[in-house]
Amino acid sequence: MPALARSRFVGKRLRLAIVGLLPVLAALVPLTVQAPAHAVAPSYVALGDSYASGVGTRTYTSESGSCQRSTYAYPYLVAQQKGYTLTFKACSGATTSTVTSSQLSAVVSTTKYVTISVGGNDAGFSDVITECAQPGWMSDCNGAIDGAQSFINNTLPTRLNTLYASIKSRAPSAVVVVTGYPRLFMGEDCNAATWFSPAEETRLNQTADLLNAKLSAAASAKGFKFANPTSKFIGHAVCDSTEWLNGLSNPISESYHPNKLGHSSGYTPLVSPLLVGAA
């Protein structure tokens, strides 16, 4: 074959090869351009008191000290389940005031999810339980309950509204879930060192219901979600066959708080479905 013809022939084959490769190259380019960047886990801040920190589970992280935060508490379990990045600020003994002063700074504009459990300590519920646990002849259980209910009705709503407004202001786009408190009793007292009468247990449960009603109303006013544990804990109260709530315990600080099952089977499946939908 003459050199000129051979050159034309080779050139033609090269052009055909390039044309044949174009569709392959075109298919590959979008794969490179559209490859997603590594997603950042949504941020989740857990605020509140001992019912959120995990008191009652008997296992606490060393860094949390007297706050008694537990890896068995529902904020930790929900964060693990959802793949959220948890900032765990809940602390035993917290009130609306201490949440504001020592926990709220963790909520920032980029926070996607918040849970908050607070109000029981404001109402002095621990002191009420302590009073009512004594024999009737040496206690004023009804007086203690009356005082707590008066506080819940007349003072607590303003405190909740102020705190919830601060959360809303700091993270206006966050999904916020307010968690309530379960009824502790189901009509019996099996602890030898306590003397709760059935009537007292009924009034204590009614006080928990009243507290939940105020929490729910304050949450709704700010567009927050409310996780009500009342029905979830039925059949799992103090002295039930499978307790999700501790009765009188040693140390005493573990008493009348959700145990590990209370967090894993009670609060976690209640809170988890609500802690979704952040932009």
Task: Give the pLDDT of residue 17.
Answer: 47
Q: 235 pLDDT exceeds 60?
A: yes
Task: Give the pLDDT of residue 39.
Answer: 74
202: Cβ contacts below 8 Å, ≥ 6 apart? 185, 187
Q: What is the mean pLDDT of residues 158-167?
A: 98
96-108 pLDDT per residue, tens? 999 999 999 999 9
Range in 4-8, 57-61, 146-150 with the lowest mean pLDDT: 4-8
C-alpha distances in Å from residue 116, one per residue of 49, 71, 91, 109, 167? 8, 17, 11, 17, 10
CB atoms inside a 10 Å sphere around CB 99:
24
110-123 pLDDT per residue, tens? 999 999 999 999 99
Q: What is the mean pLDDT of residues 79-84?
A: 98
Q: Where are the beta strands (DSSP E) in 89-239?
A: 113-117, 175-179, 225-227
Q: 15 pLDDT exceeds 70?
A: no
CATH says 43-274 is which class? alpha beta
Task: Specify whether 50 is catalytic.
Answer: yes
Spans of all domains in the chain = 1-35, 43-274
Residues forming a β-bridge with 179: 227
**Percent of residues in the chain assigned helix, strand, coil, to nearest 5:** 50, 10, 40
Q: 197 pLDDT exceeds 50?
A: yes
Which among 203, 163, 153 has a CA at the least distance from the CA of 183?
A: 203
Cα distance between the two ends of the chain: 70
22-60 pLDDT per residue, tens? 444 444 444 444 545 567 899 999 999 999 999 999 999
C-alpha distances in Å from residue 227, one per residue of 20, 121, 269? 61, 18, 10
Contacts 24+ apart (CB under 8 A), 4-12: none
Q: What is the mean pLDDT of residues 127-153?
A: 96
Q: 7 pLDDT exceeds 60?
A: no
Task: Give the pLDDT of residue 268.
Answer: 98
Q: What is the mean pLDDT of residues 7-16?
A: 48
Of the residues 92, 236, 255, 257, only one is catalytic, namely 257
Task: Specify whether 257 is catalytic.
Answer: yes
Q: 20 pLDDT exceeds 70?
A: no
Residue 18: band (very low, low, confident or very high) from pLDDT cuts 50, 70, 90: very low
Residue 187: band (very low, low, confident or very high) from pLDDT cuts 50, 70, 90: confident
> What's the mean pLDDT when you consider all of the chain?
90
Cβ pair 114, 45 in contact under 8 A: yes
Of the residues 50, 53, 117, 255, only one is catalytic, namely 50
Task: Give the pLDDT of residue 36.
Answer: 52
Q: What is the mean pLDDT of residues 88-103?
A: 98
Residue 192: band (very low, low, confident or very high) from pLDDT cuts 50, 70, 90: confident
Cα distance between residue 227 and residue 198, in whole Å: 27
Which among 74, 56, 50, 112 has a CA at the least distance from the CA of 256?
A: 56
Could you give the percent of the chain with pLDDT greater than 70? 86
